[in-house]
Amino acid sequence: MNVRPSPPPRSARPQAPQYDDFGFLIGHHLTPTLGFDMNSGEDDYIRMWREFINYDWPLQKTATLVKMIESGVPHQFRGTVWKRLAKMGSHRKPEHYPETYFEVLSAVGDKTKASQQIELDLTRTFPNHRMFLGDNSYRSLLKRVLVAYSLHNHAVGYCQGMSNCAAVLLMFFPDAEDVFWLFVSIIDYKLDHHFEPGLRGMTDDAAIFVKLFQKTMPKLYKHLEAAGIEPLMYLTPWWLQLFTNLPLWSATLYLWDLYFLHGTTALFIGSLSILYTCQNLLLQAVGMQEIIPILLSPPLHCIEPKCLAAAAADLHVYKLVKQYRSNRSREQEATVRSEALTRLMKKDAQDMKRGRPALLPPIVTKYKTLRSVFKRDSEEERQKLERRDTHVALEEFLEKRLLHLPGLQMSRPRRTTDIV
Amino acid sequence: MAGQMRKALTYKLVLLGDAGVGKTAIAVQFVKGQFNPFLESTIGASFMNQTVTLPDETLIKFQIWDTAGQERFHSLAPMYYRGAQAAIVVYDITNRNSFEKAKEWIKELQQQGDPNVVVAFVGNKVDMPEARKIQPSEGESYASENGLFFIETSAKTAENVSELFMKIAKQLPSIQRQKDITSGPSNPGVKPGVGAPSKGKGGCCG
């Protein structure tokens, strides 16, 4: 009597899982088109890209390239374009690293503190993507990349969000060592301060972001502020996983294209563009409970790559970001240097009292007011250094010594004439 | 018509605890009524809304901030618990470290959080009794020493999850309800701003 004559309905039968064009379980990331909707000209556009790539090696950041990338990289060329923008040719490993660098680091396995957190995140990294479902071998590759990086850059180790970034690279490049070096190239000197304990790089950049946001969209800025929303509430999820949390994968990849092109400037471009395209919706939304969901999961039609590109163009955001960030970094660098010099001078004074040789060359200690020289804005002080040779000697000194002092690693090498 | 007449109160609630203890799973179980084994790691924090109805028909709207567990996100935590009227501090009953971490969160909330914040001390993953490292009595006694309420949950089986939020809702201070009556019922999204005097620049709406 329990026998049911009819077969179970079709929908109840176990079905093979279905994936979208990007490898996600259907319905997870809604991705109607690959790249941009180029209408009738699509074939020509792809042909143009193919020629461009064949011709230009490595890709130089010319106005043409910028324009082409902003118009959309055809998905089949993405891996190539990213690699070339990262200046990775056939030789993936920078010359000054030993041949077995990655092998040795990635073999460390479970012995580090970072690896515990990495292990915890492996099953929680794109669990709806075919490459990372179940006990897939790609998970072990992901682990090797992350463990190796945590040892390569000790100061940063592993930060949640990095696993998503490395996983995106694995979707394009199946070789773990390739991915490792590419990962190094996109994180080191760019995002590492964002990820390091204390997240200082991110909070610093968020402060610049606030200024840009206020300038470009003052009304929206006030609206969010009045609702008690602090920028880090949405910037942290956007930035620390490089926009991989957006519900539209083509938008994520578009912002990655920009990241390879512009470096961390792309974080600002992406964030301001999203806010701009969602502006009307956000202004209508009341209170945190309505606003935050829009920010953390923007409506798909608002973040289509072409909308983000149009927003960036409207806001002239690239130029603005460049301007704000360079001011800021000069300021920071000058402060860091002057602080370091002060420390040195103090140490020298102590050492000399104890009869030890001074670290600073005589020409530097001679000028007691030197500290202020490093403040770019103090023109008067600079004029006190009238003699050209002092200036030159100082520059040489800075090149040789100051750049290598602890505490100064955060400032990237730059011609000293920019600072003094 | 009942919908219009009901009092609706909005409260900010924050979930804190070590990485991987099941903060997101608890929130998702409460909000969507399901256990999702495919949850992604939380980066920074995620946000959810959910409403519960008290026996006296009062609607309690929770704005839930589900925070990231990794230690280096710690510096962001005050942004989420500042002005929060409720906090759920979660540990994993199969993991001693997470229990110690949870105690640290409690200390921090006592020192930095809102003085009237309702705190729940929650041992999660009771669906794994064979791996248990923290006995209920241990959590219970810590909670009672610190004036918190204690509950053990399973985000996987949903055991005690809605009870947890219901219990919080009942404990939310009644002074705020009185305040709401005076300010009128038709103010969705506007939080009763009682007991949150220590904010620099407006942690709440309105």
Query: What tens digit of pLDDT does each residue of A251-265 get?
Result: 999 999 999 999 999
Query: Percent of chain B at pLDDT above 70?
Result: 80
Look up the CATH number of the domain holding residue B112: 3.40.50.300
Number of domains within chain B: 1
Phi, psi of A190 (to 5 degrees): -130, -70
Pairing of β B59-67 and β B45-53: antiparallel
Domain covering A200-320, topology: Cyclin A; domain 1 (1.10.472)
Q: What is the pLDDT of residue A149?
A: 93
Q: How far apart are CA B53 and CA B37, in angstroms?
A: 28
Which pLDDT belongs to residue B36?
A: 87
Closest chain B residue to A235, measured at CA: B44
Q: Is A277 helix (H, G, I), strand (E, B) or coil?
A: helix
Phi, psi of A115 (to 5 degrees): -65, -25
Coil/strand/helix, residue B16 = strand
Question: What pLDDT is stored for residue A213 in this prediction?
Answer: 96
What pLDDT sits at residue A160?
95
Q: Tokens for B66, please give them.
A: 């589900």
Q: Which residues of A touch B47 (CB under 8 A)?
A: 233, 288, 292-293, 296
Greatest CA separation for chain B:
52
Alpha helices in A93-190 (DSSP H): 101-106, 113-122, 137-152, 162-172, 176-187
Secondary structure, 3-state, A76-95: HHHHHHHHHHCCCCCCCCCC
The reported pLDDT for the residue numbered A317 is 85
Predicted local distance difference test score (pLDDT) of residue B104? 97
Q: Which residues of A touch B (CB under 8 A)?
A: 117, 120-121, 124-128, 159-161, 163-164, 196-199, 225-228, 230, 232-233, 236-237, 240-241, 245, 286-290, 292-293, 296
Say how many residues make up chain A. 420
What's the gap between Cα B48 and its chain centre? 11
pLDDT digits (tens, 9 = 90+) for B154-203: 999 999 999 999 999 999 876 455 445 444 443 433 343 333 333 333 32
Ranges in chain A, pLDDT < 50? 1-12, 32-35, 37-40, 361-391, 393, 398-420
Contact A124 B72 (CB under 8 A): no
Task: Tell whether B178 is covered by a domain.
Answer: no
How do residues B102-159 score in pLDDT, each as one tens digit? 999 999 999 998 888 999 999 999 999 999 999 999 999 999 999 999 999 999 999 9
pTM of the model as a whole: 0.78
- Residue A92 has a pLDDT of 67
CA B113 – CA B82 distance, rounded (Å)? 6
Q: Which tokens go with A195?
A: 């990820």
pLDDT value for A70: 85
Domain that holds residue B161: 10-31+84-173
Q: Which of B42, B47, B125 should be substituted to probe chain A, the one whose Cβ sees the most A Cβ atoms within 10 Å?
A: B47
Please give the pLDDT value at position A418.
33
pLDDT of residue B200: 35
Look at the block and give the residue holding tokens 């409720």: B86
* Tokens standing for residue B148: 């918190």
B206 chain-A contacts, CB cut-off 8 A: 226
Closest CA to B81 of B45, B55, B50, B123: B45
Domain boundaries, chain A: 43-195, 200-320, 347-418
Chain B residues 114-143 within an 8 A CB cutoff of chain A: none
Task: Mark yes or no for CB contact A240/B40 under 8 Å.
Answer: no
pLDDT reported for residue A68: 86
Answer whether A72's CB lies under 8 Å from A38's CB. Answer: yes
Residue type, A5: P
User: How close does chain B come to A20, measured CA to CA in Å?
Assistant: 17
- Reported ipTM: the value is 0.83
Domain A43-195: CATH architecture, name and number where available: Orthogonal Bundle (1.10)
